Structure 1
Amino acid sequence: MTRDADHLLPTRDPVRLLTEAGKPTGLPTVAMPPDEALVRAYAALVAGRRLNDQAYALVRQGRLAVYPSSHGQEACQVAAAQVLADGDWLFPTYRDTVAAVTRGVDPVQVLTLLKGDWHSGYDPYEHHVAPQATPLATQLPHAVGVAHAATLRGEPTVAMALCGDGATSEGDFHEALNFAAVFKAPVVFFVQNNEYAISVPLSRQSAAPSLAHKGVGYGLPGERVDGNDMAALLAVLGAAVTRARNGEGPQLVEAHTYRMQAHTNADDAARYRSDDEVAAWTGRDPITRLSAYLSDRGLLPAERRQEIDEAAERLAAVTRNGINQDVTPDPDDLFAHVYATPTPQLREQRALLTDELAREAS
């Protein structure tokens, strides 16, 4: 069967509803989201930025082993979480802490993984947020599987599968897109293109016109969006979720954004990008852009802005206090959750360790 590829192609330029100064572009692309959705998104943006800064401080204090900040990418994080219904699933990467918290997960539980604890820190079923995936793209086939299973059960579930530009070079990315397209699985593949896969620039990863064009080869539509424009993100991702829920299949969305800080605290970003490059993105900050728009509309009075700032500080305090609590590890956890029924080898190893600890204590 031959399919018309024209409807699969993304727009030539990323969809944008707000200029960098926070003014409406006036372009007839997609409808502006409702005012209340934008105010709610602004509050989550401010909270997300404060969470990023607090987590980075906890790394420097030795309370977190590592933190991959999404400073500058918070609009992508917030929009991905807010366009989902309660029964939908979010599949985050290691950099998507803000998305998980926006979805309702306790920030202390989210950061438990990055503290070096033994599990992901939260119950994935409570808020329908899968464990944060450190290996690139491995969560994408999982998202497709959950979405396809929901379709077989007759459930209106949509999966939002997050990844970065580096993940599009992995085999799991292509396998997930192909399976989703063939079976019309209700998945939104959301690529946060922040220009670098650690230190590898996008130009060394792909020769495609855009990452959104990669959907064409698998028979699913692609779209490009300004990843620092909260209004455009809510509109584009919201439309993709609605399309998937209505049985129209998966979609690939590429957001053009930028990682303002280093890949992690273990990375020296100055080795592969210039200060001028970073400075050029400073003026595109998603928070100042949306703040300007809402202020011009009279939707962000001083008292509301203060409420939002105070809520963000409370989130930071909860995170700081929770991570600063010392946890006494239980050696038995090494064996308790390996298999539902322990193997003879595990029982033997547990007995040896128990005996050794008992002798040391006596």
Structure 2
Amino acid sequence: MLALRAVAHRPTPAPEWKPRTDPAPLLPDPEPFRILGTEAAGRVDPGLLLKLHAHLVRGRRFNTQATALTKQGRLAVYPSSTGQEACQVAAALALEERDWLFPSYRDTLAAVTRGLDPVQVLGLLRGDWHTGYDPREHRVAPLSTPLATQLPHAVGLAHAARLRGDEVVALALVGDGGTSEGDFHEALNFAAVWRAPVVFLVQNNGFAISVPLAKQTAAPSLAHKAVGYGMPGRLVDGNDAPAVLQVLSEAVARARHGGGPTLVEAVTYRMEAHTNADDATRYREEPEVEVWRAHDPIALVERELTGRGLLDGAARAAASDAAEAMAADLRERMNADPVLDPMDLFAHVYAERTGQLREQAELLRAELAAESAAGEGETR
């Protein structure tokens, strides 16, 4: 009987399939990247700071007005992004016109900052449309209410653009709760393998509805998860608007020039309840919220602008007046009852209507005609 000798396995040819093993270049910084309150703040262009301030003030007013509309019965629900405005604004401003934004249900402000009509953005939350705007025209995907399902869509679009030779980048937004979904894993894995030009922005606002981050993951940070997929992870102060914009702009540029995807975690805080249907006092204390009020994104920018003599009373008034004008227009148009055609149910499903949809449309048309005829008979 021959004795078997243990030998090390040596694949032939050389293991070109071997994944990256050095994680050091992919690891995020130990602390969130900041600009405001550091020496770097003095090097930020004054025009950019004023632009960010105007967008943040407008965004805060948009959130308060949309929240008020829920109390008036004009919106079925509203997930406020108050306190997270810096993430929303920076996400929109980091993109070029040719790029795509993939928002979650909380990212209405990002869509508005991208240039969409606020009334159309709120169409989903009003219950009028699944998407109240044309995604192709604005290059903003539909607001996604299922958690993290927009992430694989962003990867698919970015991968397709790369195959076609289009220098298009997709930026996908998701909350910390969404990172617990399988779609998050699938999207990051495919994006890294394909080196798709996509940027993932995780807005870590502390809670997945009522579940704190510590009960979702034991990772050092959500940005560390990037290493397991083979992409860089960046950690940034999500309330520092110029810092978020810089990190996202660098990630977008890297993706556009063939560097592949990046996972950015923005550490922020959800100042208000999950939605108007949630009672946040059941799972967090007011002193915790007050700590974050002192780190408000608007206050941080205003502190820098005031310290550099760039924000006087007139500039504050101009930003506030513009925000109030937007809110007044939104309020007036949202208080008007929309005229909706039930047949529109079938208008924006497929580019070419399927046989099944045609059959369903004819059935609904017949039912509507019958109801109309019955109504006319009753009035005679």
Count of equivalent residues: 355
**Within-5 A mapping of 1:174-193:** 174-193=185-204
- Does residue 26 (structure 1) correspond to residue 39 (structure 2)? The answer is yes
Task: Give unpaired runs (5+ residues) of structure 2.
Answer: 1-17
Q: Is the 8 A contact 2:201 2:266 kept in 1?
A: yes
Shift of 1:35: 2.4
Shift of 1:112: 1.2
* Counterpart amino acid of residue 350 in structure 1: R
Shift of 1:280: 1.0
Cα distance in 2, alignment partners of residues 139 and 337 from structure 1: 18
- The residue that corresponds to 1:235 in the other structure is 246
Cα distance in 1, alignment partners of residues 276 and 313 from structure 2: 35
* Higher relative contact order (CA closer than 8 Å, sequence separation 6+): 1
Identical aligned residues as a percent = 62
Task: Choose which of 105, 122, 128 in structure 1 pairs with 2:133.
Answer: 122
Cα distance in 2, alignment partners of residues 161 and 321 from structure 1: 31
- The residue that corresponds to 1:328 in the other structure is 339
| TM-score (norm: length of structure 1) | 0.94
- The residue that corresponds to 2:372 in the other structure is 357
Give CA deviations for 1:263-315 in whole Å, capped at 9, x if unaligned. Answer: 00000000111111111111000001101101111222322222111111111
Task: Choose which of 290, 298, 303 in structure 2 pairs with 1:279.
Answer: 290
**Within-5 A mapping of 1:235-314:** 235-314=246-325
Give CA deviations for 1:33-65 in whole Å, capped at 9, x if unaligned. Answer: 432222111110000000000011111111111
- Does residue 194 (structure 1) correspond to residue 209 (structure 2)? The answer is no
- The residue that corresponds to 1:78 in the other structure is 89
| TM-score (norm: length of structure 2) | 0.90
Q: Is the 8 A contact 1:181 1:218 kept in 2?
A: yes
Q: Which has the larger radius of gyration?
A: 2
Q: Is the 8 A contact 1:68 1:265 kept in 2?
A: yes
Task: Give unpaired runs (5+ residues) of structure 1.
Answer: none
- Does residue 150 (structure 1) correspond to residue 161 (structure 2)? The answer is yes
Cα distance in 1, alignment partners of residues 363 and 56 from structure 2: 50
* Counterpart amino acid of residue 216 in structure 1: V
Cα distance in 2, alignment partners of residues 112 and 345 from structure 1: 24
Cα distance in 1, alignment partners of residues 80 and 343 from structure 2: 33
Q: Out of 130-139 and 334-343, give the one that drifted further.
A: 334-343
- The residue that corresponds to 1:173 in the other structure is 184
* Counterpart amino acid of residue 7 in structure 1: P
- Does residue 13 (structure 1) correspond to residue 26 (structure 2)? The answer is no
Shift of 1:348: 3.0
* Counterpart amino acid of residue 162 in structure 1: L
Change (3 A) 1:33 1:89: farther
- The residue that corresponds to 1:37 in the other structure is 48
- The residue that corresponds to 1:69 in the other structure is 80
Give CA deviations for 1:185-212 in whole Å, capped at 9, x if unaligned. Answer: 1111000000100011111111111000
Q: Secondary structure at the match of 1:253?
A: strand
Change (3 A) 1:335 1:361: farther
Change (3 A) 1:2 1:182: closer
Shift of 1:235: 1.3
Change (3 A) 1:226 1:32: farther
Q: Secondary structure at the match of 2:224?
A: helix
Change (3 A) 1:181 1:31: farther
Q: Is the 8 A contact 1:335 1:350 kept in 2?
A: no
Change (3 A) 1:44 1:65: same
**Within-5 A mapping of 1:83-98:** 83-98=94-109
Q: Is the 8 A contact 2:343 2:361 kept in 1?
A: no
Cα distance in 2, alignment partners of residues 296 and 357 from structure 1: 66
Change (3 A) 1:338 1:150: closer
Cα distance in 2, alignment partners of residues 216 and 53 from structure 1: 38
